[in-house]
Amino acid sequence: MNELNALLLQPSLNPIETLRLLFTYHFMHNAFLAGTLVAIVAGPVGYFMVVRGQSFLGHAVSHAGFAGAAGAALLGVTPVAGLLVFATGAGAGIEALSERDRPGSIEMDIAIGTTLAFSLSLGLLFLRLASSYAANIYSFLFGTILGITDRDVRVIAVTAVTALLLLAVIARPLFFASIDPAVAAARGVPVRLLSYLYLLLLAIAVAEAVQVVGVLLAYALLVTPAATAQQLSARPSFAAALSTLIAVLVVWIGLAVAYFSGYPVGFAVTTLAFGAYLLVQGGTAWKHSHLRQLSPSTIGGEM
């Protein structure tokens, strides 16, 4: 970028002028639309991932998606389709290999670890075989949100609406099955079916998040806002909404920072999300420390 362009991309002290600069180009319109849709899905799906204690599962699914994108490029198919198929398949495979009715089971940890390793090896193989498409495949590692077309936005919108409708249908029984799967199963809740449906939602969320921050950082967009929201509220519905709000805000601010600074979008979004998490964690730790200092004797003396 030459000096003139760099000068034109400097934010103004006038917020209206800054917004005008931010939306000067059509690709930024698409970036904000796609980023907002991705964040709206990632927020609640990520919250359930944290509640279910399956944060590492999101990491494995996103890397399996990279293998799918590489394999799709090798076959001449759209990489997003391959990413979605492999992410869904990896999640279903992990569920089949583990005993989900035992929370935090060793079987699930082993299944996630082995699936992650195998997915990475497949990704390397497909990348080697599809060397002529390496540039397109590498873009999935770091995100391509600034290159999203109008058609991509429409596809993301359809998948986002589908995912949110499915989540709205299964949210209540899914939360019950996530908190106490044994009791939920005893009361007739289809725990196993809900697990597979949730894995489909997670695969969709990963496939969308990859286009914003890439495979390497999709995990952060799913987990960090949800972990932050969980620190702020114990109410499931409010925490899920708060996770969505945090995800949307970090995407919006991250896009603006990347646009005006030239830094990668994935870096900006992830740094903001991590900063918010550290801020909330620090505030929570200070609050607990302050409450511990207020011993009963101290309170009694003040009275």
Residue 279 CA, distance from chain mean position:
20
Secondary structure (3-state) at 148: coil
pLDDT by 10-residue block (mean), the chain, 303 residues: 47 77 86 91 91 82 84 80 84 75 65 84 82 68 76 85 91 89 87 87 83 76 91 89 94 90 86 92 78 59 50
pLDDT of residue 6: 43
pLDDT of residue 167: 92
Nearest to 57 by CA among 160, 178, 164: 178
User: Which residue type is seen at 88?
Assistant: T
> What distance in Å separates the CA atoms of residue 10 and residue 260, rounded to the nearest whole number?
6
Secondary structure (3-state) at 264: coil
Domain ranges of the chain: 3-289
pLDDT of residue 81: 80
pLDDT of residue 4: 34
Exposure on the CB side of residue 251, measured as CA atoms within 13 A: 36
> What distance in Å separates the CA atoms of residue 265 and residue 287, rounded to the nearest whole number?
33
> What distance in Å separates the CA atoms of residue 215 and residue 65, rounded to the nearest whole number?
8
CATH number of 3-289: 1.10.3470.10
| Alpha helix positions (H), the chain | 3-8, 15-22, 26-51, 55-75, 79-97, 106-129, 134-142, 150-179, 181-186, 191-213, 215-232, 236-261, 265-293, 296-302
pLDDT of residue 294: 65
pLDDT of residue 9: 63
Q: How far apart are the first and last CA of the chain?
A: 66
> What distance in Å separates the CA atoms of residue 230 and residue 40, rounded to the nearest whole number?
17
> What distance in Å separates the CA atoms of residue 14 and residue 229, rounded to the nearest whole number?
31
pLDDT of residue 282: 86
